[in-house]
Amino acid sequence: MRLLRPHLGNALATGSMLFFIMTAPLSLAKEQAPPPTMTWAADKEGCSFTRGDDGRYRYSLKSGDLEIILAVDSREVQEIRRRPIPVLGVFATFRYRGKESVKVRLDKFTLQFLSHAKVVEIALPPSVVAARLQKDSDALTDQTEHEVRKHPEKKQALEAALRTQLDEMAKMTEFVNAHTLRSEGPALTPAEPESRGWIFFDTTNRWIGSWKKREEFLLRVGVKDRIFAFPFTLPPTEGDHILRRRPE
């Protein structure tokens, strides 16, 4: 009998381990169940869509004590090509009516490019955008200096073009640092119930490729115990156009 006990003990241990392996994924899956997703839809309660005379489409989604308004420029896809670095920007407003503090985190924002292999990009922290602009500025300066050494007769034109490009990069850096949501995000409280800011996404993924006449996107943001999802198309309808208000 003494020879059998170790084998019986091993069998019990093995059985216990198998039971744990079989039941652990079920318990873990239950504990890690994803939060509910609130998706914007034109005919859904708590959702609205407007065209502003500032040239932006606005998608509003209310859920419980929180409302998020997503504003997207009607010419955003065209503007990407004109920026010093190719990033897509959206403007988000948060309105909170709860009694506790709620944190908005930039790393909880994702943008899915539905027309381009469903690529998903996480929102860029302003420090990353600024660092990339600085890197490109340094590279452009080195390249221009190299061109001037090769073609001294073009020095004036090359340096003038460099100053223009560096000025555009500096302005974008200043804008990003001043108006983008911070990486840690704002805290919404009863005393400070509203916050707003720009969010930028990289578009240099090789699967994105060239832009189409109409582009489809899906922006998701996790706040509190919910995920807010905004499916949107630029333009929303074929040939859609906003008459912009003249700047005063």
CATH number at residue 55: 2.60.40
Residues 68/93, Cβ–Cβ less than 8 Å: yes
pLDDT, greater one: 92 or 6: 92
Whether the per-residue pLDDT at 207 is higher than 90: the answer is yes
Same domain, 133 and 119: no
Whether the per-residue pLDDT at 141 is higher than 90: the answer is yes
162-175 tens-digit pLDDT: 999 999 999 999 99
Tally of domains in the chain: 3
Same domain, 112 and 137: no
| Predicted TM-score of the model (pTM) | 0.82
Give the pLDDT band (50/70/90) at residue 183. Answer: confident
Least confident of 7-21, 32-46, 71-85, 138-152: 7-21
For residue 4, give the amino acid letter. L
Same domain, 138 and 119: no
Whether the per-residue pLDDT at 26 is higher than 90: the answer is no
Report the chain's mean pLDDT, rounded to a whole number.
86
Whether the per-residue pLDDT at 25 is higher than 70: the answer is no
What is the Cα gyration radius of the chain?
26
Same domain, 119 and 199: yes
Between CA 195 and CA 185 the distance in angstroms is: 9
- pLDDT number for residue 248: 55
Strands across the sheet containing 37-39: 37-39, 226-234, 215-223, 109-113, 119-122
Whether the per-residue pLDDT at 193 is higher than 60: the answer is yes
Same domain, 114 and 41: yes
Same domain, 156 and 50: no
Whether the per-residue pLDDT at 138 is higher than 90: the answer is yes
Whether the per-residue pLDDT at 117 is higher than 80: the answer is yes
Residues 198/90, Cβ–Cβ less than 8 Å: yes
Same domain, 79 and 159: no
Alpha helices by DSSP H, the chain? 5-31, 76-82, 126-150, 155-179
DSSP output for 180-235: BPPSS-PEE-SSS-EEEEEEEEE---TTT-SPPSSEEEEEEEEETTEEEEEEEEES
Whether the per-residue pLDDT at 17 is higher than 70: the answer is no
Whether the per-residue pLDDT at 242 is higher than 80: the answer is no
Same domain, 97 and 206: yes
pLDDT, greater one: 109 or 16: 109
Owning domain of residue 27: 1-33
